[in-house]
Amino acid sequence: MAKVSELYQSADWKSEKHVPVIECPDEVKTNEIFHVTVTLGKEVAHPNTTEHHIRWIQVFFHGQGDKFPYQVGNFEFTAHGEAVDGPNKGPVYTNHSVTASLKILKGGTLYATSLCNIHGLWQNAKEIRVK
């Protein structure tokens, strides 16, 4: 049986539309609020249709020296153009992009994970320093 960690895929987000892109400062001040934005399909657009879409993005922070990461947020996308009239005829589509505000007390790593309904689980990470 595979471990959950073995199910996650990763690649260069500049050429793979499923990889979460983490945008935030490389360095922040301790205990000061900053913004983290996670998107998919930044360079290569990801479809957002009833048949092919991103279901969720999760963000975690793993502080230097900490045993476990902390979940920052879980963001679900539930409108993909479904309608009584059929696929892609609905009045609303959620966009697979999220922004969270947070503060940290020490440096560490931000992790973003996502789920594509067709192509599975994806992950990316970004180091962040505290000054």
- H helical segments located in the chain: 4-7
pLDDT attached to residue 88: 96
Let me know if 17 is a catalytic residue: yes
> Is 62 known to be catalytic?
no
The catalytic residue among 52, 89, 103, 106 is 52
State residue 108's pLDDT score.
98
User: Measured between alpha carbons, how far is 56 from 64 in angstroms, rounded to an integer?
Assistant: 26
Helix, strand, coil shares of the chain as percentages rounded to 5?
5, 45, 55
Q: Is 53 a catalytic residue?
A: no
pLDDT digits (tens, 9 = 90+) for 61-100: 999 999 999 999 999 999 999 999 999 999 999 999 999 9
pLDDT at 14: 86
Mention the CATH class of domain 4-130: mainly beta
Residue type at 30? T
Alpha-carbon span 130 to 125, nearest angstrom = 17
Annotation marks residue 16 as catalytic: yes
Share of the chain above pLDDT 90, in %: 89
Mean pLDDT along residues 33-61: 95
What's the pLDDT score for residue 71?
A: 98
Whole-model pTM above 0.75?
yes
Domain ranges of the chain: 4-130
pLDDT score recorded for residue 28: 98
Torsion of CA 65, 111, 38, 56, to 10 degrees: -140
